[in-house]
Amino acid sequence: MLHQQYTLNCKGKLLDLSQPIIMGILNITPDSFFDGGKYMSNTSILGKATKMLEEGAQIIDIGGMSSRPGADFISVQEELDRILPAVEIINKHYPETIISIDTIRSAVAKQAVSSGACIINDISAGKFDDELFQTVAQLKVPYILMHMQGQPKNMQTNPDYKDIALEVLDFMIEKVGQLRALGVKDICIDPGFGFGKSLQHNYQLLKKMHIFKILELPILCGLSRKSMIYKLLNTTPDKALNGTSALHMIALQEGAKILRVHDVREAFEVIQLWQNLEKV
Protein backbone atom coordinates (compact mmCIF):
# COMPACT_ATOMS: atom_id res chain seq x y z
CA MET A 1 0.00 0.00 0.00
CA LEU A 2 1.28 3.48 -0.89
CA HIS A 3 1.90 5.74 2.10
CA GLN A 4 2.26 9.49 1.84
CA GLN A 5 5.79 10.50 2.84
CA TYR A 6 6.07 13.35 5.30
CA THR A 7 8.86 14.88 7.32
CA LEU A 8 8.74 17.81 9.73
CA ASN A 9 11.80 20.02 10.16
CA CYS A 10 12.01 20.61 13.91
CA LYS A 11 14.81 23.19 14.16
CA GLY A 12 17.14 20.99 12.08
CA LYS A 13 15.94 17.64 13.43
CA LEU A 14 13.97 15.82 10.74
CA LEU A 15 10.95 13.99 12.10
CA ASP A 16 9.97 11.13 9.78
CA LEU A 17 6.22 10.57 9.51
CA SER A 18 6.29 7.87 6.83
CA GLN A 19 4.96 5.65 9.65
CA PRO A 20 2.62 6.87 12.43
CA ILE A 21 4.23 8.22 15.59
CA ILE A 22 3.14 9.14 19.11
CA MET A 23 2.90 12.52 20.79
CA GLY A 24 2.80 12.08 24.57
CA ILE A 25 0.69 14.57 26.54
CA LEU A 26 2.30 16.41 29.45
CA ASN A 27 -0.21 18.76 31.09
CA ILE A 28 1.36 21.21 33.54
CA THR A 29 -2.10 22.24 34.73
CA PRO A 30 -4.09 21.83 37.95
CA ASP A 31 -7.39 21.41 36.06
CA SER A 32 -7.01 19.25 32.92
CA PHE A 33 -9.90 16.82 32.47
CA PHE A 34 -7.88 13.62 33.01
CA ASP A 35 -4.53 14.22 34.71
CA GLY A 36 -4.86 17.76 36.11
CA GLY A 37 -2.50 18.46 39.00
CA LYS A 38 -0.38 15.31 38.58
CA TYR A 39 2.65 16.95 36.95
CA MET A 40 3.37 20.21 38.70
CA SER A 41 6.83 19.51 40.21
CA ASN A 42 10.15 19.05 38.37
CA THR A 43 10.45 15.48 39.66
CA SER A 44 6.99 14.43 38.46
CA ILE A 45 7.47 16.23 35.12
CA LEU A 46 10.80 14.51 34.44
CA GLY A 47 9.43 11.16 35.61
CA LYS A 48 6.46 11.38 33.23
CA ALA A 49 8.64 12.51 30.31
CA THR A 50 11.10 9.65 30.94
CA LYS A 51 8.30 7.09 31.01
CA MET A 52 6.72 8.39 27.79
CA LEU A 53 10.05 8.42 25.93
CA GLU A 54 10.91 4.90 27.12
CA GLU A 55 7.50 3.66 25.95
CA GLY A 56 7.96 5.06 22.45
CA ALA A 57 6.81 8.70 22.30
CA GLN A 58 8.65 10.73 19.68
CA ILE A 59 7.16 14.09 20.64
CA ILE A 60 6.32 15.43 24.10
CA ASP A 61 3.50 17.98 24.02
CA ILE A 62 3.64 20.38 26.96
CA GLY A 63 0.56 22.41 27.82
CA GLY A 64 0.21 25.01 30.56
CA MET A 65 -3.43 25.98 30.08
CA SER A 66 -6.36 23.57 30.20
CA SER A 67 -8.60 23.52 27.12
CA ARG A 68 -11.23 21.22 28.63
CA PRO A 69 -14.85 22.31 28.00
CA GLY A 70 -15.69 25.28 30.23
CA ALA A 71 -12.05 26.19 30.90
CA ASP A 72 -11.05 29.84 31.36
CA PHE A 73 -7.92 31.41 29.91
CA ILE A 74 -5.06 32.06 32.32
CA SER A 75 -2.56 34.95 32.09
CA VAL A 76 0.42 34.74 29.73
CA GLN A 77 2.78 34.94 32.70
CA GLU A 78 1.09 32.06 34.51
CA GLU A 79 1.27 29.94 31.35
CA LEU A 80 4.98 30.73 30.95
CA ASP A 81 5.67 30.01 34.64
CA ARG A 82 4.18 26.55 34.17
CA ILE A 83 5.71 25.48 30.88
CA LEU A 84 9.19 27.00 30.66
CA PRO A 85 10.69 25.01 33.58
CA ALA A 86 9.23 21.83 32.02
CA VAL A 87 10.75 22.60 28.60
CA GLU A 88 14.10 23.37 30.19
CA ILE A 89 14.28 20.27 32.39
CA ILE A 90 13.30 17.89 29.56
CA ASN A 91 15.70 19.62 27.18
CA LYS A 92 18.50 19.33 29.72
CA HIS A 93 18.01 15.59 30.39
CA TYR A 94 16.88 14.55 26.89
CA PRO A 95 18.37 17.07 24.45
CA GLU A 96 17.32 15.04 21.40
CA THR A 97 13.64 15.07 22.37
CA ILE A 98 11.23 16.93 20.13
CA ILE A 99 9.13 19.16 22.38
CA SER A 100 5.84 20.62 21.23
CA ILE A 101 4.09 23.49 23.02
CA ASP A 102 0.32 23.49 23.28
CA THR A 103 -0.46 27.22 23.25
CA ILE A 104 -2.69 29.82 21.59
CA ARG A 105 -0.30 32.73 22.22
CA SER A 106 2.57 34.17 20.20
CA ALA A 107 4.41 35.41 23.33
CA VAL A 108 4.37 31.89 24.79
CA ALA A 109 5.38 30.34 21.46
CA LYS A 110 8.42 32.65 21.19
CA GLN A 111 9.72 32.00 24.69
CA ALA A 112 9.05 28.26 24.54
CA VAL A 113 10.94 27.88 21.25
CA SER A 114 13.88 29.92 22.57
CA SER A 115 13.92 27.58 25.61
CA GLY A 116 14.07 24.43 23.47
CA ALA A 117 10.62 23.62 22.08
CA CYS A 118 10.38 23.09 18.33
CA ILE A 119 6.69 22.59 17.40
CA ILE A 120 3.70 24.85 18.09
CA ASN A 121 0.42 23.01 18.73
CA ASP A 122 -2.42 25.56 18.58
CA ILE A 123 -6.02 24.59 19.36
CA SER A 124 -7.27 28.01 18.20
CA ALA A 125 -5.94 28.19 14.61
CA GLY A 126 -4.72 31.71 15.40
CA LYS A 127 -8.19 32.87 16.49
CA PHE A 128 -7.16 34.46 19.80
CA ASP A 129 -3.83 36.01 18.81
CA ASP A 130 -3.48 37.93 15.54
CA GLU A 131 0.31 37.61 15.67
CA LEU A 132 0.53 33.84 16.11
CA PHE A 133 0.69 32.81 12.42
CA GLN A 134 3.33 35.46 11.71
CA THR A 135 5.29 34.35 14.79
CA VAL A 136 5.28 30.71 13.67
CA ALA A 137 6.55 31.83 10.25
CA GLN A 138 9.38 33.81 11.89
CA LEU A 139 10.30 30.94 14.24
CA LYS A 140 10.45 28.50 11.29
CA VAL A 141 8.95 25.66 13.33
CA PRO A 142 6.22 23.15 12.43
CA TYR A 143 2.69 24.23 13.29
CA ILE A 144 -0.28 22.06 14.26
CA LEU A 145 -3.50 23.63 13.01
CA MET A 146 -6.62 22.51 14.87
CA HIS A 147 -10.30 23.10 14.20
CA MET A 148 -12.52 24.35 17.03
CA GLN A 149 -16.01 25.84 16.87
CA GLY A 150 -16.30 28.59 19.53
CA GLN A 151 -13.80 28.63 22.41
CA PRO A 152 -13.22 26.30 25.37
CA LYS A 153 -15.55 28.29 27.64
CA ASN A 154 -18.58 27.84 25.35
CA MET A 155 -17.61 25.35 22.62
CA GLN A 156 -19.84 22.53 23.84
CA THR A 157 -22.95 24.69 24.38
CA ASN A 158 -24.60 24.05 21.02
CA PRO A 159 -22.21 22.94 18.26
CA ASP A 160 -23.86 23.00 14.84
CA TYR A 161 -22.82 21.72 11.40
CA LYS A 162 -24.56 20.72 8.17
CA ASP A 163 -21.71 18.44 7.04
CA ILE A 164 -18.97 18.42 9.65
CA ALA A 165 -16.22 16.77 7.61
CA LEU A 166 -16.65 19.14 4.66
CA GLU A 167 -16.91 22.21 6.91
CA VAL A 168 -13.73 21.26 8.78
CA LEU A 169 -12.00 20.59 5.44
CA ASP A 170 -13.02 24.03 4.10
CA PHE A 171 -11.72 25.62 7.30
CA MET A 172 -8.38 23.79 6.91
CA ILE A 173 -8.01 24.82 3.25
CA GLU A 174 -8.53 28.49 4.17
CA LYS A 175 -6.14 28.46 7.14
CA VAL A 176 -3.44 26.46 5.35
CA GLY A 177 -3.61 29.08 2.57
CA GLN A 178 -3.04 31.86 5.12
CA LEU A 179 -0.10 30.01 6.69
CA ARG A 180 1.50 29.22 3.33
CA ALA A 181 1.19 32.89 2.28
CA LEU A 182 3.23 33.83 5.36
CA GLY A 183 5.88 31.21 4.55
CA VAL A 184 5.01 28.49 7.08
CA LYS A 185 6.38 25.31 5.52
CA ASP A 186 5.59 22.45 7.92
CA ILE A 187 1.91 22.16 8.85
CA CYS A 188 0.00 19.31 10.51
CA ILE A 189 -3.77 19.29 10.70
CA ASP A 190 -5.85 18.24 13.69
CA PRO A 191 -9.64 17.81 13.18
CA GLY A 192 -10.18 18.85 16.81
CA PHE A 193 -12.14 15.99 18.31
CA GLY A 194 -14.21 17.27 21.25
CA PHE A 195 -13.68 20.94 20.43
CA GLY A 196 -17.07 22.42 19.58
CA LYS A 197 -18.52 19.09 18.45
CA SER A 198 -21.35 16.93 19.74
CA LEU A 199 -20.78 13.25 20.48
CA GLN A 200 -22.14 12.25 17.05
CA HIS A 201 -20.21 15.01 15.28
CA ASN A 202 -16.99 13.45 16.56
CA TYR A 203 -17.87 10.03 15.14
CA GLN A 204 -18.99 11.49 11.81
CA LEU A 205 -15.64 13.29 11.62
CA LEU A 206 -13.62 10.20 12.53
CA LYS A 207 -15.46 8.08 9.95
CA LYS A 208 -14.69 10.58 7.18
CA MET A 209 -11.23 11.65 8.30
CA HIS A 210 -9.66 10.20 5.16
CA ILE A 211 -11.00 13.19 3.18
CA PHE A 212 -8.28 15.35 4.80
CA LYS A 213 -5.67 13.42 2.84
CA ILE A 214 -6.55 15.73 -0.07
CA LEU A 215 -4.53 18.44 1.73
CA GLU A 216 -1.38 16.27 1.52
CA LEU A 217 -0.48 17.21 5.10
CA PRO A 218 0.06 14.91 8.08
CA ILE A 219 -3.03 14.40 10.24
CA LEU A 220 -2.78 14.49 14.04
CA CYS A 221 -5.49 12.81 16.07
CA GLY A 222 -6.31 13.69 19.68
CA LEU A 223 -8.85 11.15 20.90
CA SER A 224 -7.25 10.02 24.14
CA ARG A 225 -9.78 9.45 26.97
CA LYS A 226 -12.13 12.14 25.60
CA SER A 227 -15.84 12.49 26.36
CA MET A 228 -16.76 11.06 22.95
CA ILE A 229 -15.50 7.78 24.43
CA TYR A 230 -16.40 7.84 28.10
CA LYS A 231 -19.82 9.47 27.73
CA LEU A 232 -20.85 6.98 25.05
CA LEU A 233 -19.66 4.10 27.25
CA ASN A 234 -21.22 5.67 30.37
CA THR A 235 -17.93 5.63 32.23
CA THR A 236 -15.18 8.11 33.26
CA PRO A 237 -11.93 9.38 31.68
CA ASP A 238 -9.84 7.08 33.89
CA LYS A 239 -11.75 4.03 32.54
CA ALA A 240 -11.63 5.11 28.88
CA LEU A 241 -8.33 3.51 27.83
CA ASN A 242 -9.86 0.50 26.10
CA GLY A 243 -12.21 2.73 24.10
CA THR A 244 -9.28 5.02 23.26
CA SER A 245 -7.28 2.10 21.83
CA ALA A 246 -10.25 1.00 19.71
CA LEU A 247 -10.61 4.46 18.18
CA HIS A 248 -6.86 4.79 17.67
CA MET A 249 -7.01 1.81 15.31
CA ILE A 250 -9.81 3.51 13.33
CA ALA A 251 -7.81 6.77 13.23
CA LEU A 252 -4.78 4.96 11.79
CA GLN A 253 -6.96 3.29 9.18
CA GLU A 254 -8.34 6.74 8.29
CA GLY A 255 -4.84 8.15 7.76
CA ALA A 256 -3.63 9.56 11.12
CA LYS A 257 0.14 10.09 11.24
CA ILE A 258 0.40 11.36 14.84
CA LEU A 259 -1.56 10.02 17.80
CA ARG A 260 -1.68 12.50 20.70
CA VAL A 261 -2.08 10.33 23.79
CA HIS A 262 -1.96 10.05 27.57
CA ASP A 263 -0.99 6.35 27.42
CA VAL A 264 2.04 5.85 25.21
CA ARG A 265 2.70 2.11 25.57
CA GLU A 266 -0.86 1.17 24.66
CA ALA A 267 -0.89 3.51 21.64
CA PHE A 268 2.46 2.09 20.51
CA GLU A 269 0.93 -1.40 20.58
CA VAL A 270 -1.99 -0.23 18.43
CA ILE A 271 0.47 1.19 15.87
CA GLN A 272 2.39 -2.12 15.82
CA LEU A 273 -0.83 -4.06 15.20
CA TRP A 274 -1.93 -1.64 12.47
CA GLN A 275 1.50 -1.85 10.78
CA ASN A 276 1.29 -5.62 10.66
CA LEU A 277 -2.22 -5.45 9.23
CA GLU A 278 -0.97 -3.09 6.50
CA LYS A 279 1.79 -5.56 5.54
CA VAL A 280 -0.50 -8.55 5.07
**pLDDT > 90 in the chain, percent:** 84
CA dist list (Å): 185 to 12, 128, 146, 179, 270:
13, 22, 16, 8, 30
pLDDT band at 29 (very low <50, low <70, confident <90, very high): confident
Instruction: Summarize the confidence of residues 13-17 as an average pLDDT.
Output: 96
For residue 157, the model assigns a pLDDT of 77
Amino acid symbol at 208 = K
Q: Are 87 and 47 in contact (CB under 8 A)?
A: no
Q: What are phi and psi of 164, to 5 degrees?
A: -60, -45
Check if the beta carbon of residue 155 is closer than 8 Å to that of residue 162. Answer: no
Res 73 pLDDT > 80: yes
Residue 2 has pLDDT above 50, yes or no: no
pLDDT in tens, 215-242: 999 999 999 999 999 999 999 999 999 9
Would you say the pTM of this structure is higher than 0.85?
yes
Q: Which residues are catalytic?
A: 226, 260
pLDDT at 41: 84
Domains (ranges, CATH) in the chain? 14-279 (3.20.20.20)
Q: Are 208 and 251 in contact (CB under 8 A)?
A: no
- Residue 71: band (very low, low, confident or very high) from pLDDT cuts 50, 70, 90: confident
Q: Using one digit for the tens of pLDDT, what is the confidence trace for 132-187?
A: 999 999 999 999 999 999 777 777 778 899 999 999 999 999 999 999 999 999 99
> Does the pLDDT of residue 36 top 60, yes or no?
no
Q: What's the pLDDT score for residue 152?
A: 73
